[in-house]
Amino acid sequence: MNILLLNGSMRGNSSSSLKIAEAFVRGIVEELGEDNTKVTKVNFRDAHIEHCYGCFCCWKLKKGECVIRDDMDTIRKQVMEADVIIESFPLYFFGLPSKMKAFMDRMINFVSEYRAVNGDEATGRFLHEMRYPELMKKKLVLVSACGYEETVDCYDAVINQFDKICGHDNYTRIFVPQGGMLAEKTFENKIARYIVKFVEAGKEFAKNGKLSQETEEKLQVPMLGHNTFAQAINLNWDEEGVGPYGKIVK
């Protein structure tokens, strides 16, 4: 299984979302074996990804080829070669962070132009066809950490967006609250125990090609109880001399 892990957090390797995504990937690799898996990680922080110009040259002139030459040339090839694409990103303003969105916009050449079915004899239907139907066989997994205490309602816009793009049953959601706490050294032991369920989820995914709704819901359970989280988050902001996600919470 060829796994492409796209890290859309500008925190790079310090990303909490990535920590979860890597645990999930570890589970897949443990289940299928190292010889049967290949993992490619791309840090968007280090990648040159221009914004889509909106020129539609890829649809009109270049038959699927984007006019912009940047790291998307390589990333598109990696997407084509992957069996599983994991988009790992923090939640920003209840949506995707801008570089992950830029990546998605630049994938518009993977669908064909939007046009009326049957032209003059139009049936009233309009559609985009998949330029590369083999894309339908690939699995998409979203992994995202957010800062709030719980994920409740936080991911509505993201889910709405991907439901429209892929269909609700055609992609996997791993959404995790209290993301900042996953970088908190004080909670090292708690984090190590918390992470195990994402490794297990990776194994389930490797076996079944998807996660059950029950597992998706279980993965959203916060690491900290209400009072501990409240204390930790306030100390984090209030305590002098302690940077974001400092080290002094008991």
Ligand X SMILES: Cc1cc2nc3c(=O)[nH]c(=O)nc-3n(C[C@H](O)[C@H](O)[C@H](O)COP(=O)(O)O)c2cc1C
Question: Residue numbers of the site for ligand X (CB under 6 A)?
Answer: 9, 11, 15-17, 90-94, 145-148, 154, 179-180
Burial of 15 (0-12, 13-18, 19+ CB in 10 A): buried
Neighbours of 241 (CB within 10 A): 6
Q: Is 228 strand, coil or helix? A: helix
Q: Which is nearer to ligand X, 16 or 37 (CB)?
A: 16
Give the residue with the Cβ less far from ligand X, 11 or 41: 11
Report how far residue 155's alpha carbon sits from residue 150's, in angstroms, rounded to the nearest whole number: 10
Nearest to ligand X of 14, 118 (CB atom): 14
Question: Least distance (Å) from ligand X to the CB of residue 170?
Answer: 24
> Is 180 or 202 the residue whose CB approaches ligand X more closely?
180
d(CA 177, CA 221): 8
Q: Which is nearer to ligand X, 85 or 145 (CB)?
A: 145
Q: 146 near 90, Cβ under 8 Å?
A: yes
CB of 97 to ligand X, least distance (A): 7
Query: CA–CA separation, 19 vs 37, rounded Å?
Result: 19
Nearest CB to ligand X, comparing residues 93 and 237? 93
CB of 31 to ligand X, least distance (A): 24
Whose CB is nearest to ligand X? Answer: 179
Angle between helices 188-208 and 16-32 (to 10 degrees): 50
Instruction: For the CB of residue 20, give the shortest distance to ligand X in the complex, in Å.
Output: 8
Nearer to ligand X, 59 or 198 (CB): 198
Going by C-alpha positions, the residue among 140, 141, 103, 101 that lies closest to residue 20 is: 141
Minimal distance, residue 67 CB to ligand X, in Å: 30
Q: Please report how close the Cβ of residue 197 comes to ligand X at its closest, in angstroms.
A: 17
Tell me how far, at minimum, the Cβ of 26 lies from ligand X, in Å: 17
Closest to 10 in 3D by CA, of 89, 96, 85: 89
Q: How far is CA 246 from CA 16, 149, 206, 233, in A?
A: 15, 18, 36, 10
Residue 6 β-bridge partners? 42, 87
